[in-house]
């Protein structure tokens, strides 16, 4: 019986991580499709609308490190379980908002829960799965995140909004998945057995986890995460507006934006395994950053029809970039330190996620276009490419070479 439990539990935990990823992202990605409605009814500027979209990322940046430490101390079940309850409270309260200030305040509550949950997802992978399965497990739970992004982008305008014909109703409806997941999480999720190798590592490694703060490779991943999030959330927040400027309808703009995320589902599932078989991780990162720079440059001059090519390239590059950073976090540090390492990555990364869409909205208020922000994204892609080349290679081929040259 114990052996059966040991075999089944990792995949059961991974299924819960998938559902958690979906539930925590769905309320946030319901905003871009209705952002023109929010601006009209709450009388917001583009910069304020960008802040509403990005506020959960601000809270994630603030809570990621404390949440990572909390998860390392009290366990995944309690830390993320508390977080999903806070998500429910904040997400539902957004449906009662009547002005910018209250909507921002309630969104920050939702974001606090978001920040408590997210650091636990890579920790589940590092705690429950052996090294050879980390890439596969990371890809699987990441598809939950991408489903939680793509489905609201695709369905909010054509299916969810008509149910109530109010933005408040949209917020209520997209809070329901979090309620379902919270109940399942508290019933199903367990910590690893105290006698297991993973639990011993968590207990014994607590004293040495301060080494993360001087780990150059973890800092490099955190900087790359800043660039990746600034780029991704700029596109996911403002692609609908960009396509409307090129002549598209709000529905078409939201659908085109969802392509970026829909492409992520097969990519985040397959790319870690592909890179594992190739034996190299780094080329998947710097190759993605180069494509992102070229895509931002092309978007300045593209027409609406060529926008489909733009979002497809973004879907390929940004999703590969994202999932490979998750793999690096899981491979660069021991399991007992993943919560803290993930917290550091998320803190710096989601400062970028906050700044990207907010700066884009501010630029739109001033210039009326997104061209200047696209130039900024080109610069961020160039910076990310430089840092990507400095990453230590964690692929099997590099490890094999190291063993051969070792004295």
Regarding pTM above 0.85, the answer is no
Angle, CA 103 vertex, CA 102 and CA 109 arms, to 5°: 90
Q: In sequence order, which residues have a C-beta less than 8 Å from that of residue 325 and are 6 or more positions away?
A: 221, 224, 225, 228, 285, 345
- Rounded Cα–Cα distance for residues 118 and 68 (Å): 9
> Which of these, 53, 60, 48, lies nearest to 32 by C-alpha position?
53
CB-hemisphere CA count at 13 Å for 200? 3
8 A C-beta contact, residue 20 and residue 144: yes
The rounded distance, in Å, linking the Cα atoms of 138 and 364 is 36
* 137 Cβ contact partners less than 8 Å away, ≥ 6 residues apart: 10, 14, 125, 128, 129
Question: What pLDDT does residue 1 have?
Answer: 39
Neighbours of 187 (CB within 10 A): 8
Residues with Cβ < 8 Å from 406, sequence gap 6 or more? none
Ranges under pLDDT 70 in the chain: 1-8, 68, 126, 131, 135, 192-212, 335-340, 343, 397-407
- How wide is the angle at C-alpha 46 spanned by C-alphas 101 and 239, nearest 5°? 125
- Where residue 368 falls (left for φ over 0; alpha for ψ -120 to 50; beta otherwise) is left
pLDDT at 354: 84
**CA nearest to 344, candidates 224, 264, 200, 205:** 224
- Give Cα 60 to chain centroid, integer Å: 10
Q: How far is CA 275 from the centre of its chain?
A: 20
Residue 213 neighbours by CB under 8 Å, 6+ apart:
344
pLDDT value at position 142? 80
50 within 8 A of 361, measured Cβ to Cβ: yes
Q: In the prediction, which pLDDT does 189 show? A: 80
Per-residue confidence (pLDDT) for residue 363, from 0 to 100 = 94
In order of 123, 353, 399, 404, the CA distances from 393 in angstroms are 21, 26, 8, 16
Domain 2-405 indexed as CATH 3.40.30.10: no
* 327 vs 110: CA distance, rounded Å: 27
* pLDDT tens by residue, 68-97: 678 777 888 888 899 999 999 999 999 999
Domain locations in the chain as residue ranges:
2-405
């Amino acid at each position: 019986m114990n052996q059966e439990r040991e075999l089944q539990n990792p995949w059961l935990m991974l299924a819960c991580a998938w559902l958690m990823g979906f539930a925590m992202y769905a309320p946030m990605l319901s905003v871009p499709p209705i952002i023109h409605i929010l601006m009209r009814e709450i009388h917001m500027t583009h910069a304020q609308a960008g802040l509403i979209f990005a506020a959960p990322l601000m809270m994630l940046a603030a809570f990621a490190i404390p949440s990572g430490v909390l998860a390392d101390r009290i366990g995944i079940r309690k830390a993320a379980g508390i977080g999903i309850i806070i998500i429910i409270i904040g997400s539902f309260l957004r449906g009662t908002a009547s002005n910018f200030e209250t909507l921002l305040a309630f969104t920050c509550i939702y974001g606090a829960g978001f920040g408590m949950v997210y650091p636990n997802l890579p920790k589940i992978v590092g705690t429950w799965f052996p090294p050879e399965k980390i890439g596969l497990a990371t890809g699987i739970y990441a598809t939950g995140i991408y489903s939680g992004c793509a489905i609201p982008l695709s369905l909010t305008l054509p299916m969810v909004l008509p149910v109530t014909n109010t933005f408040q109703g949209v917020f209520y409806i997209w809070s329901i998945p979090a309620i379902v997941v919270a109940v399942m999480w508290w019933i199903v999720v367990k910590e690893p057995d105290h006698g297991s190798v993973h639990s011993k590592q968590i207990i014994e490694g607590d004293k040495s986890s301060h080494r993360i703060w001087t780990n150059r490779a973890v800092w490099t991943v955190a900087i790359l995460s800043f660039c990746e999030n600034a780029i991704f959330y700029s596109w996911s927040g403002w692609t609908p507006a960009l396509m409307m400027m090129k002549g598209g309808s709000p529905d078409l703009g939201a659908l085109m934006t969802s392509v970026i995320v829909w492409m992520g589902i097969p990519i985040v599932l397959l790319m870690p395994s592909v890179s594992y078989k190739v034996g190299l991780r780094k080329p998947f990162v710097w190759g993605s950053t180069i494509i992102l720079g070229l895509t931002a440059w092309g978007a300045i001059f593209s027409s609406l029809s060529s926008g489909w090519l733009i979002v497809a390239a973004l879907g390929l590059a940004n999703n590969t970039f994202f999932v490979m950073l998750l793999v690096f976090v899981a491979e660069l540090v021991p399991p007992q330190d993943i919560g803290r390492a993930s917290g550091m990555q998320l803190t710096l990364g989601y400062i970028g996620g906050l700044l990207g869409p907010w700066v884009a909205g501010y630029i739109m208020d001033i210039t009326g276009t997104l061209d200047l922000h696209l130039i900024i994204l080109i610069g961020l892609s160039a910076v990310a490419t430089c840092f990507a080349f400095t990453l230590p290679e964690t692929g099997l081929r590099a490890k094999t070479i190291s063993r051969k040259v070792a004295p």
